[in-house]
């Protein structure tokens, strides 16, 4: 048997198999359609019976408005006919007959279209046409390959450039698909990065909102309470007559309340993030220290301009808080009269030192410094720096912060 004959036989076999499958599918589909038609007719008959029970009427009282209302209820064309009623001519219609209650000579018919049957019929037609088309296409493939292989060698050679062009087009299509996949991956990665950035911004906004809310609560509650207690003590001090020791003690309490209120107000200013964004580090530090340093204490600031350029906006807030805590400890615990704040840089590192002439303390003493030193160390660690404390009884205290920074351009 020649290759062409084998190809022809294979084509006929494929077409025959698909045709058998198509007609078998059509028979099954017709059975399904008949079953669906019967179910639709029964459903329509039940709807018509329910409508007649809701609004019964004798044949002599039937009119057009009544018929239209029944048709709207059952969503079909309702007619009053003499029994036996004639079925519709259209094969696509769904027909139901219900005897009129108490009237053997009359029957009510309902004729309508079923959406289920229409969808089923359209699906059947599309599937049948698709099956026939596939049968013809697949049946022609063996013949095409057989005819292409039976061409003379010279003719096949003349088509070689076209085959090379087809290979080039195939490679180009493959590269295009690969680049499209890479672009999709890059787009997904960028979208995930944008989503992560949005989440970070949301968390930052919530953190700033919490800080502002905390500042408002401190101002409305603690600061106002301290101010009210201070005023009450001053009023009592003016109205009462007591021993000098008691009066001196009251003056000390009032002064301590004022100092504490100033510290609370300074902390409230630090909670406002816009404050540090608008001011430089020296200006923000001076504004912070102004609220906690009494008049009898002098604070000297010695800042290297080149060192100030290395302080980023992200680090400025933490540095101001560390200096504030160190100066506050010097005044409250060390009873210092003179405090020096210095900033310098060397070999890619920023050095910030706070020294005082106060009473000092023993570093080995348990619980020395309370939470203040621990908070300063935690802030220094958070920005990547290290904190050292040098102190001894009677020799003052020196706090040194070392922060690695990039060199100024």
Residues 137 and 223 in one domain: no
Candidates 337, 333, 339; CA nearest to 285 is 339
Give all strands of the β-sheet with 298-303 in edge-to-edge order. 298-303, 338-346, 349-356, 397-404, 386-391
Domain boundary, last residue among 127, 149, 171: 149
Is the residue at 71 inside a domain?
yes
In terms of domains, do 142 and 182 share one? no
Number of domains in the chain: 3
For residue 137, the model assigns a pLDDT of 75
**Strand locations in 277-325 (E):** 298-303
Question: Which of 307, 316, 305, 309 is CA-nearest to residue 275?
Answer: 316
Helices (H) and strands (E) in the chain, counts: 12, 8
Higher pLDDT, 321 or 140: 321
Would residue 280 count as lying in a domain? no
What's the pLDDT tens digit per position in 138-152?
A: 777 776 766 666 555
Q: Where residue 326 sits, what CATH number does that domain have?
A: 3.30.565.10
Q: Tell me which residue range forms the domain holding 199.
A: 161-271
Would 284 be classed as within a structural domain?
A: no
Angle (nearest 5°) at CA 280 between 274 and 286 = 95
For residue 106, give the 3-state DSSP assignment: strand
Question: Token digits for 307?
Answer: 């060192």
State mean pLDDT over 191-205. Answer: 72
| Residues 81 and 215 both lie in one domain | no
Position 281 in a domain: no
Instruction: In whole angstroms, give the CA distance from residue 148 to residue 163.
Output: 13
Query: Quick one: pLDDT at residue 217?
Result: 67
User: Has residue 376 been placed in a domain?
Assistant: yes
pLDDT at 348: 79
Give the residue with greater pLDDT, 401 vs 140: 401
Q: Does 318 share its domain with 208?
A: no
- Run of H or E including 128: helix 115-149
- Judgement on whether residues 144 and 185 belong to the same structural domain of the protein: no
Whether 332 and 210 share a structural domain:
no
Q: Is 289 within the bounds of a domain? A: no
Q: Tell me if 104 sits within 8 A of 59, measured CB to CB.
A: no
Looking at the fold, whether 401 and 335 belong to one and the same domain comes out as yes
> 9-24: string of b/e by CB count within 10 Å (b at 16+)?
ebbeebbeebeeebee
Residues 35 and 172 in one domain: no
Question: Tell me: the pLDDT tens digits for 52-61?
Answer: 777 787 777 8
Q: Are residues 145 and 178 in the same domain?
A: no
Q: Which of 236, 271, 306 is the last residue of a domain?
A: 271
- Of 149, 171, 186, which marks where a domain is finished? 149
Mean pLDDT of 373-392: 88
82 and 170 inside one domain = no
Answer whether residue 347 is part of any domain. yes
DSSP string, 318-330: HHHHHHHHHHHHH
Q: Would you state the pLDDT for residue 154?
A: 47
How much of the chain exceeds pLDDT 70, in percent?
78
Q: Let me know whether 62 and 98 are in one domain.
A: yes
What global pTM score does this model have? 0.39
Shared domain for 252 and 124, answered yes or no, is no
d(CA 250, CA 252): 5
Instruction: Specify if 277 maps to a domain.
Output: no
């Amino acid at each position: 048997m020649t290759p062409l004959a084998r190809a022809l036989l294979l084509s006929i076999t494929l077409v025959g198999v698909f045709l058998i499958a198509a007609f078998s599918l059509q028979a099954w589909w017709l059975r399904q359609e008949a079953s669906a038609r019967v179910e639709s007719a029964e459903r329509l008959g039940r709807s018509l019976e329910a409508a007649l029970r809701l609004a019964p009427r004798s044949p002599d009282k039937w009119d057009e408005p009544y018929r239209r209302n029944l048709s709207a209820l059952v969503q079909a064309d309702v007619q009053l006919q003499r029994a036996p009623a004639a079925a519709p001519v259209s094969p696509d219609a769904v027909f139901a007959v219900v005897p009129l209650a108490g009237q053997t000579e009359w029957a009510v018919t309902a004729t309508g279209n079923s959406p289920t049957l229409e969808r089923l019929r359209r699906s059947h037609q599309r599937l049948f046409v698709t099956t026939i088309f596939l049968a013809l296409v697949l049946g022609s493939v063996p013949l095409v390959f057989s005819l292409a292989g039976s061409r003379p060698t010279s003719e096949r050679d003349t088509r070689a450039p076209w085959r090379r062009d087809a290979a080039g087009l195939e490679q180009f299509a493959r590269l295009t698909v690969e680049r499209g996949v890479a672009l999709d991956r890059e787009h997904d990665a960028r979208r995930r990065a944008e989503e992560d950035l949005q989440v970070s911004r949301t968390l930052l906004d919530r953190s700033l909102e919490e800080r502002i809310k905390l500042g408002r609560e401190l101002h409305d509650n603690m600061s106002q309470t301290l101010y009210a207690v201070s005023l009450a003590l001053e009023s009592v001090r003016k109205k009462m007559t007591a021993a000098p020791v008691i009066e001196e003690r009251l003056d000390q309490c009032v002064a301590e309340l004022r100092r504490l209120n100033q510290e609370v107000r300074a902390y409230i200013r630090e909670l406002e993030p816009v404050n540090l964004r608008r001011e430089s580090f020296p200006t923000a530090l001076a504004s912070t220290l102004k609220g906690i340093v009494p008049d009898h204490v002098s604070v000297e600031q010695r800042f290297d301009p080149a060192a100030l350029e290395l302080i980023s906006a992200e680090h400025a807030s933490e540095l101001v808080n560390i200096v504030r805590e160190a100066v506050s400890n010097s005044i409250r615990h060390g009873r210092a009269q003179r405090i020096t704040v210095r900033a310098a840089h060397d070999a890619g590192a920023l050095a910030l030192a706070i020294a005082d002439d106060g009473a000092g303390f023993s570093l080995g003493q348990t619980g020395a410094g309370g939470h203040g030193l621990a908070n300063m160390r935690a802030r220094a660690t958070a920005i990547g720096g290290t904190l050292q404390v040098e102190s001894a009884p009677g020799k003052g205290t020196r706090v040194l912060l070392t922060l690695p920074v990039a060199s100024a351009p």
